[in-house]
């Protein structure tokens, strides 16, 4: 008899192990130990099932929400604040999103709930309109990660977004300080303004090939991201998009990119182009080199300001605008060549310690301010154009010396 009991226990243990292993694979590394019933909590051996042991222990769950708005019926009010890893399938509306927000630590007004949800897989769900407002009056729209949908959720760490989603709204994950990884579906074409702003712990992000627009400050303050590849359909990198990404060391720009910062503003001074020091890559202190595609015509105000590790940058031949302080305080940049096509330039190298600046244009580009404030920088100009540069009000007074060279 003891032999049969031991054999049964062994068999049950093996079955439970295989279920846990399957769920772990299905949820891409999320910890999961479900009993096999999608809508009921399982039990870990030795923890009991509500009759003895630790009552109320809730392991991770897989829940099918076949009807939008019914997630609160699938998970009890007691269980909702104990689940750390959750996978959903089915259809979600505002009522369901609000419930998830509460599980992850904040209600519709942003007040703390005590929820501890860390890992959320909603990749096999579809977001539809309807239901309650999930946050301060915001409601769901079809296939959209809406404005402020998951903002300021303190416990969230890993999120797999719905495969059918096509865009993310503004501030969607704003201030999710513990968020480390988000899987963005391939159908996403737009990432809204401030979507991942101040997600300090975000270490990796996949940008889908279909992406055509990244909003202002979308990744600003994501100080743990180390590399980014921007998809080929992105034409403009807007103001503040990667500002204060202090660990960002590798940036791959698309071949069809036209502008870095805030587009082709017609004002040659660059004033009014951006707010404050909100350039596209401002304070990305780990970037050592960056290749700017030949398609780029504009480098906007403060675009690379404070990129103090930057040692090498090749400006493309098609560049026309070097706007206000675009390379300000790039201390490790020692030499740069300004292409012949540059027509407008405004104090691009203030705060730099350049040894030399080479310019290919025989006519001084338009400017209304000093080019650089380093007293030891030498300007090299095309042979035959020395007098033009020396007699220019700003070019002639910005450098320690001006010398000619052969192109």
Burial code (b: 16+ CB inside 10 Å, e: under 16) for 296-321 equals bbbbbbbbbbbbbebeebebbebbbb
CA distance 62 to 34: 8
294-318 pLDDT tens trace: 999 999 999 999 999 999 999 999 9
The CA–CA distances, whole Å, from 335 to 153, 313, 359 equal 45, 9, 11
- Are the C-beta atoms of residues 359 and 335 closer than 8 Å to each other? no
CA distance 43 to 202: 32
The pLDDT of residue 377: 97
Strand, coil or helix: 353: coil
Q: Examine the pLDDT at 24 and tell me if it is beyond 80.
A: no
CA distance 219 to 227: 12
- Are the C-beta atoms of residues 273 and 280 closer than 8 Å to each other? no
- What does pTM read for this prediction? 0.82
DSSP for residue 277: T
Q: What is the mean pLDDT of the chain?
A: 85
Q: Going by C-beta distance under 8 Å and a sequence separation of 6 or more, which residues neighbour residue 2?
A: none
Which of 262, 305, 300 minimizes the C-alpha distance to 287?
Answer: 305
The pLDDT of residue 208: 96
79-88 pLDDT tens trace: 999 999 999 9
Of the pLDDT bands very low, low, confident and very high (cuts 50, 70, 90), residue 10 is very low
The CA–CA distances, whole Å, from 7 to 33, 45, 99, 334 equal 22, 16, 42, 74
Domains of the chain with bracketed CATH:
1-182 (3.80.10)
Which of 86, 87, 88, 91 minimizes the C-alpha distance to 67?
Answer: 91
Average pLDDT over residues 354-374: 96
Average pLDDT over residues 263-286: 64
375-400 pLDDT tens trace: 999 999 999 999 999 999 999 999 99
Q: Going by C-beta distance under 8 Å and a sequence separation of 6 or more, which residues neighbour residue 278?
A: 217, 239, 240, 243, 302
The pLDDT of residue 250: 95
Give me the percent of the chain exceeding a pLDDT of 90.
79
């Amino acid at each position: 008899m003891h032999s049969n009991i031991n054999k049964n226990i062994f068999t049950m243990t093996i079955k439970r192990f295989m279920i846990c292993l399957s769920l772990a694979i299905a949820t891409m590394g999320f910890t999961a130990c479900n009993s096999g019933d999608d809508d009921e909590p399982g039990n870990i051996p030795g923890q009991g099932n509500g009759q003895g042991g630790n009552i109320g222990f809730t392991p991770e769950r897989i829940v099918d929400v076949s009807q939008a708005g019914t997630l609160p019926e699938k998970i009890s009010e007691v269980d909702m604040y104990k689940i750390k890893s959750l996978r959903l399938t089915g259809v979600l509306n505002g009522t369901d999103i609000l419930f998830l927000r509460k599980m992850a630590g904040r209600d519709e007004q942003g007040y703390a709930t005590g929820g501890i949800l860390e890992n959320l897989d909603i990749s096999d769900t579809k977001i539809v309109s309807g239901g309650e407002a999930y946050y301060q009056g915001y409601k769901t729209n079809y296939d959209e990660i809406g404005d402020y949908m998951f903002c300021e959720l303190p416990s969230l760490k890993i999120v797999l977004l719905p495969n059918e989603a096509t865009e993310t709204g503004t501030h969607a994950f704003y201030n999710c300080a513990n968020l480390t990884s988000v899987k963005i579906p391939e159908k996403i074409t737009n990432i809204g303004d401030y979507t991942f702003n101040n997600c300090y712990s975000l270490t990796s992000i996949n940008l889908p090939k279909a992406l055509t627009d990244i909003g202002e400050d979308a990744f600003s303050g994501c100080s743990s991201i180390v590399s980014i590849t921007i998809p080929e359909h992105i034409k403009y990198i807007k103001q503040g998009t990667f500002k204060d990404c202090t660990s960002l060391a590798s940036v791959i720009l698309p071949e069809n990119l036209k502008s870095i910062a805030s587009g082709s503003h017609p004002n040659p001074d660059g004033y009014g182009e951006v707010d404050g020091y909100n350039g596209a890559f401002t304070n990305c202190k780990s970037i050592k080199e960056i290749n700017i595609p030949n398609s780029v015509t504009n480098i906007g105000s403060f675009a690379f300001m404070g990129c103090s590790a930057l040692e090498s940058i090749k400006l493309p031949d098609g560049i026309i605008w070097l706007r206000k302080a675009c390379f300000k305080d790039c201390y490790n940049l020692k030499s740069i060549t300004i292409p012949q096509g540059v027509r407008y330039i405004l104090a691009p190298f203030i705060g730099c310690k350049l040894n030399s600046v080479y310019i290919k244009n025989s006519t001084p580009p338009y400017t209304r301010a000093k080019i650089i404030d380093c007293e030891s920088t030498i300007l090299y100009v095309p042979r035959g154009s020395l007098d033009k540069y020396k007699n220019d009000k700003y070019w002639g007074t910005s450098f320690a010396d001006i010398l000619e060279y052969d192109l």
